[in-house]
């Protein structure tokens, strides 16, 4: 049974919810719903003014019936849930924080239900002090994908995704729209908010860009580098996006050469290193000729670029992965070798190590399978997983299933289990149980690719891949895959199975 003051608080809140003055959220109060997988635990985090009494209200419906800027209308049956669960009624601590734990019922009938939550705090005289926005969280079965309640404002692929400092929001920048055989680069930016499952247009770049990089700086700004414009010209210009109420955009220093298909890494001192890439997309031959081994370093303090160390060979569509000791593994990519003065394309099977303390790059062991357009993840034990990509004939690279692991202790690569289905441009992200999810990706020849709905899980303990409980709802390639603070994975945009860009997004939970 509830203590009398808490029971009184619930009754009082039932009354104030009917007062028109509460039609709008008010005051300093925020909340996050973390965990919406059926049969799995979750929690709700509340952040407001210290020591105030609070009540977390929840409700659920089969469809989206609440929008931002409202007060939640809680049915009596759900009010009973609020009064019975630990932590749903109480007082914020001295830092103004509280958490409430729960377990989503193990009932398949709850699949596709939408959970709504809102927090209300009271002042010392029993008046309403603050009302949070409504947080929206669709429920789904473990190992499956569920469409987000909102879609992108613009269909896009080849965009970048940067989590913002509150972790619940993700900034999507640029990309291409239309059929990927001739997509038009975009200037637009939008933000996904986990709390209401919506995408909001927040502004535009000064230049349209696709196949660019975007790196979050130490001060929260985002450095956007290179890429291709609407005419498929490669950019040397760079921009800074300042997340906030206005998402201001400004040019910063330009690189000494145009780049796309490069890799970018934020160093420990806050500077950004970009390596490789090509300076032209005019034709396949010119793309190959334009691939460089040069690197440059951006200093956020001055906005200027300076030369960095040269790679051991030119690289395009390669990877840079930070090792546990602060060094960087640079692996694979498309390169070229001169034959009778003519650059001949080769898929790289080499790797290098960058040491930022000396700003030098040196060779390490070779890959077992030459690859480009692959993706990587650093495992908890410090090793690096390299997933798929494209291999075979450099004149017509084809998606592969081969995976391998780099061991920094021996500077060597070991073969591990192969993907169930070949995949390029598909990022592995950590999920529960120490496993890694690869969702969708490009299959077939890179010059005539197709997207896929397959999603697969890698278990480092066994070195094997297995399918998820359900496939993607939409086939995707050239999309983004972003871990969210509730443990879900946000999969956004990309080209569908016909390579037309999509505005849809979905979330995976396990």
Nearest to 265 by CA among 221, 297, 230, 240: 297
Domain assignment of residue 186, yes or no: no
CA distance 311 to 361: 7
Question: Domain containing 134 — which CATH number?
Answer: 2.20.130.20
Answer yes or no: are the C-beta atoms of 130 and 56 closer than 8 Å.
no
For residue 393, what are the contacts with CB-CB under 8 A and spacing of at least 6?
none
Examine the pLDDT at 268 and tell me if it is beyond 90: yes
- What is the helix (H) or strand (E) element at residue 274, kind and residue range? strand 272-275
Q: Quick one: what percent of the chain has pLDDT higher than 90?
A: 70
Domain assignment of residue 115, yes or no: yes
pLDDT of residue 271: 98
CA distance 17 to 40: 30
CA distance 244 to 248: 8
Domain assignment of residue 105, yes or no: yes
pLDDT of residue 24: 53
Answer yes or no: are the C-beta atoms of 290 and 280 closer than 8 Å.
yes
Nearest to 505 by CA among 497, 485, 482, 486: 482
Among 51-55, 68-72, 470-474, name the most confident range. 470-474
Domain assignment of residue 182, yes or no: no
- Least confident interval from 15-29, 93-107, 188-202, 263-277: 15-29
CA distance 192 to 202: 10
Domain assignment of residue 230, yes or no: no
Tell me the mean pLDDT in the region 346-370.
97
For residue 170, what are the contacts with CB-CB under 8 A and spacing of at least 6?
161, 162, 163, 164, 191, 192, 482, 484, 490, 492
Q: What is the pTM of this model?
A: 0.92
Give me 331's structure tokens. Answer: 């692996």
Nearest to 132 by CA among 69, 199, 86: 69
Domain assignment of residue 58, yes or no: yes
Q: Quick one: what percent of the chain has pLDDT higher than 70?
A: 90
Domain assignment of residue 447, yes or no: no
Q: How far apart are the first and last CA of the chain?
A: 34
Domain assignment of residue 498, yes or no: no
**Number of domains present in the structure of the chain:** 1
- Least confident interval from 22-26, 98-102, 149-153, 350-354: 22-26
Answer yes or no: are the C-beta atoms of 133 and 84 closer than 8 Å.
no
Q: Alpha carbon of 244 to those of 222, 301, 409: distances in Å?
A: 12, 20, 42
Answer yes or no: are the C-beta atoms of 219 and 173 closer than 8 Å.
no
- Least confident interval from 42-56, 71-85, 121-135, 197-211: 71-85
pLDDT tens by residue, 289-311: 999 999 999 999 999 999 999 99
pLDDT tens by residue, 419-441: 999 999 999 999 999 999 999 99
Residue 70 burial (C-beta neighbours within 10 Å; 0-12, 13-18, 19+): middle
Examine the pLDDT at 148 and tell me if it is beyond 90: yes
Answer yes or no: are the C-beta atoms of 316 and 278 closer than 8 Å.
yes
- Higher-pLDDT residue of 13 and 325 is 325
Tell me which residue range forms the domain holding 36.
Answer: 4-138
CA distance 330 to 350: 9
**In the 8-state DSSP scheme, what is residue 382?**
S
pLDDT of residue 92: 95
């Amino acid at each position: 049974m509830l203590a009398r003051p808490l029971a009184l608080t619930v009754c009082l809140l039932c009354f104030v919810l009917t007062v028109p003055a509460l039609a709008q959220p008010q005051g300093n109060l925020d909340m996050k719903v973390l965990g919406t997988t059926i049969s799995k635990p979750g929690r709700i985090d509340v952040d407001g003014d210290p020591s105030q009494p609070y009540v977390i209200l929840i409700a659920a419906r089969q469809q989206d019936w609440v929008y931002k800027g409202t007060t939640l209308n809680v049915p009596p049956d759900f009010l009973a849930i609020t009064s019975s669960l630990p932590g749903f009624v109480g007082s914020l601590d001295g830092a103004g924080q509280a958490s409430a734990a729960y377990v989503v019922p193990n009932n398949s009938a709850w699949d596709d239900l939408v959970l709504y939550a809102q927090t209300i705090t009271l002042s010392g005289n029993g008046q309403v002090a603050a009302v949070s926005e409504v947080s929206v969280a669709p429920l789904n079965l473990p190992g499956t994908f569920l469409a987000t309640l909102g879609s992108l404002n613009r269909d896009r692929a080849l965009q970048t995704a940067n989590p913002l400092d509150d972790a619940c929001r993700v900034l999507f920048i640029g990309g291409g729209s239309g059929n990927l055989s001739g997509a038009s680069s975009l200037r637009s930016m939008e933000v996904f908010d986990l709390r209401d499952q919506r995408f909001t247009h927040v502004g535009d770049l000064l230049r349209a860009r696709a196949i660019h990089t975007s790196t979050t700086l130490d001060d929260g700004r985002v450095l956007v580098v290179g890429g291709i414009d609407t005419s498929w010209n490669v950019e040397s210009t760079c921009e800074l996006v300042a997340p906030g109420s206005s998402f201001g955009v400004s040019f910063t220093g330009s690189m000494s050469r145009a780049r796309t298909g490069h890799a970018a890494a934020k160093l420990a001192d806050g500077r950004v290193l970009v390596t490789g890439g090509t300076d032209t997309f005019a034709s396949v031959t010119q793309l190959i000729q334009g691939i460089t081994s040069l690197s440059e370093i951006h200093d956020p303090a001055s906005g200027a670029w300076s030369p960095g160390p040269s790679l051991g060979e030119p690289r395009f569509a390669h990877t840079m992965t930070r090792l546990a000791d602060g060094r960087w593994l640079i692996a694979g990519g498309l390169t070229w070798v001169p034959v009778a003065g003519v650059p001949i394309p080769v898929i790289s099977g080499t790797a290098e190590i960058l040491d930022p303390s000396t700003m030098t790059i040196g060779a390490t062991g070779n890959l077992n399978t030459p690859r480009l357009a692959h993706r990587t993840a650093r495992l908890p034990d410090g090793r690096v997983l390299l997933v798929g990509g494209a291999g075979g004939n450099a004149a017509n690279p084809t998606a592969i299933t081969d995976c391998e692991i780099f061991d920094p202790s021996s500077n060597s690569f070991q073969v591990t289990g192969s993907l169930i289905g070949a995949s390029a441009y598909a990022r592995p992200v950590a999920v529960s149980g120490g496993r890694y999810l690869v969702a969708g990706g490009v299959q077939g020849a890179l010059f005539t690719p197709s997207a896929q709905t397959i999603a697969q899980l890698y278990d480092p303990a066994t070195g094997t891949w297995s399918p998820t409980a359900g496939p993607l709802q939409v086939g995707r390639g050239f999309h983004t895959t972003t871990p969210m603070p509730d443990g879900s994975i946000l999969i956004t945009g990309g080209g569908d199975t016909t390579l037309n860009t999509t505005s849809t997004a979905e979330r995976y939970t396990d």
